[in-house]
Amino acid sequence: MQNSPYNLIMFAKEQYEELAPLTVTPEPDSVVRVHMVYLPLDEPIEIPEQELTPMERTGFTVVEWGGTDASYMKR
């Protein structure tokens, strides 16, 4: 990301959960999965702001954080 003058960034929630199901034992009270997808760009573009919904954590909480460089999609 730091080598690109601009980056398109989005957070894939539903898409990521479909592609990478998660099973945890014992079952957690809360699951927070954050998957950032970014695409290096040569110039800025206009896109609508993504709406993100905050989640309330309770009890035993599993947090997963990851990301994907989507530059392979530009080919």
Which tens digits make up the pLDDT trace of 38-71? 999 999 999 999 999 888 899 999 999 999 999 8
Helix (H, G, I), strand (E, B) or coil at 73: helix
Give the model's pLDDT for residue 74: 65
Give the model's pLDDT for residue 29: 97
How far is residue 58's CA from residue 36's CA, in Å, rounded to a whole number? 23
Q: Where are the alpha helices (DSSP H) in the chain?
A: 14-19
User: Would you say residue 75 has pLDDT above 60?
Assistant: no
